[in-house]
Chain A
């Protein structure tokens, strides 16, 4: 058995081990590689919040669950932090029942962090988490028609809308009230709900990387105005906020992980061609 034949028959666990080691090293010892800000996708979202007035209300949607929290969690936290710092009020809804609680916890984390920095954010005044409501896209249509009625006048933790000052300003989900929609999405239901019923609103996406190529189509058509693309999107947003966080620190590991995949593809192909020439094809 030649070297390349052995390489072709390599136990995949070595590949797994290589991957794990290469991803762990830069997490422990960051390389501090520069991160470029994406002007077409990330910056429009940052500018949108920057240009809003304190007191303006935006809506945000949690359409993901634990499976994509690694990408959307840092985006969610960075964006929400920005809103709170700017005094922009946020009303959260959730199209995914499995991620609604997680989204709420991410918001609480941001509020706690801000409190540690001496910035007080008050639930019911600065933000409200309406959370998940059954009924899918039709429910969102009902929210558009009569927000209070559709939500049974209750938020995620059981507070009555009557007791939440912010909700006194959100009797309706209309263009007068809502200065844009931020949707963190990992799949369906997700974007179509908004491009169907809320097409005349400014819609922004926090997207998982897998969906980015597909959703570039919406960006080009103007159906969405900006998009945070996976973990790099979160890292770029953290940099724009001037507070590099977890996403920024994980980006070095992303680099090595990508390099590892590229090396594997190249090695795999070299092995494939050499063994094919010698008459023992594989792969």
Chain B
């Protein structure tokens, strides 16, 4: 009941999905006019997953309530987090995501804070470029030279230094060639490697060799 039944369920649902994906007539099965079994099954399974919508809220609350209880460092910010968490959730749940207040907060805080967090990396890249980007061997030299060419090929100042109408197409011409030949070879090999790894992991789960998704020890 605790491990075997969930494993069998995973196997059964995997086989059902394989059937739907592989067999064309199966995906067209209708149990009522205009209602296919596949769509209803997938809607109801999404419905199942959406039932867990409070999980994020609960996890975050547990973690921060714990911090507050134990008066860990920065616990005051945890209080603030909980106020914002529940305040925004209540506004959204009661008045809906189309409500002016909900969207107002989204535009005033979520979008700008998210944008700014990511944009800070521009500064950290600059710092890393100065402190860590060192020519130590052939590999790092190649990386550096290519990075320079790509950077100059990406912006107008590169065009000013070495025009795309000049020999070899200037920085832009070389950058384009690097991107479309060696870089693409690299990206493709990487993509195939990642796929093989992920597929092997999926087969392990399918065969019941990997049970980590069940969690726990019993």
Minimum C-beta distance from A256 to chain B (A): 7
Q: How far is the CA of A258 from the CA of B157 in the complex (A)?
A: 9
A264 x B187 contact (CB < 8 A): no
Q: How far is the CA of A150 from the CA of B41 in the complex (A)?
A: 12
For A217, list chain B residues within 8 Å (CB): 184, 187-188, 191
A40 x B156 contact (CB < 8 A): no
**Known contacts A102-B111, A145-B39, A269-B134, A214 near B106 by CB under 8 Å:** no
For A68, list chain B residues within 8 Å (CB): 118
* Interface residues in A, total, Cβ within 8 A: 64
For A145, list chain B residues within 8 Å (CB): 27, 36, 38-39
Q: How far is the CA of A18 from the CA of B43 in the complex (A)?
A: 53
Q: How far is the CA of A135 from the CA of B46 in the complex (A)?
A: 5
Which residues of A come within 8 Å of B, CB atoms? 10, 12, 15-16, 18-20, 33-36, 38, 40, 65-70, 98, 101-102, 105, 134-135, 138-139, 141-142, 145-146, 149-150, 157-158, 209, 212-217, 219-221, 232, 251-252, 254-262, 264-265, 267-269, 272, 283
* Interface residues in B, total, Cβ within 8 A: 62
Which residues of B come within 8 Å of A, CB atoms? 27, 34-36, 38-39, 42-43, 45-46, 49-50, 97-98, 103, 106-107, 110-115, 117-119, 122-123, 125-127, 129-135, 144, 147-148, 151-152, 154-160, 164, 172, 176, 179-180, 183-184, 186-188, 190-191
State which of A38, A66, A251, A259 has its C-beta within 8 Å of the C-beta of B112: A66
**Known contacts A149-B39, A264-B129, A264-B130, A251 near B156 by CB under 8 Å:** yes
Q: List the 4 closest A-B pairs by CB distance, nearest first.
A: A33-B156, A66-B114, A66-B111, A255-B157
A256 x B111 contact (CB < 8 A): no
For A213, list chain B residues within 8 Å (CB): 179, 183, 186-187
Q: How far is the CA of A105 from the CA of B110 in the complex (A)?
A: 14
**Known contacts A12-B127, A16-B127, A264-B129, A138 near B157 by CB under 8 Å:** no
Q: How far is the CA of A282 from the CA of B112 in the complex (A)?
A: 37
| A216-B187, A258-B157, A268-B131 given; 20 more Cβ-contact pairs under 8 Å | A15-B123, A16-B123, A34-B156, A36-B172, A66-B115, A101-B103, A138-B46, A142-B38, A142-B42, A145-B36, A146-B34, A146-B36, A232-B154, A261-B125, A261-B126, A262-B148, A264-B129, A268-B130, A268-B132, A268-B133
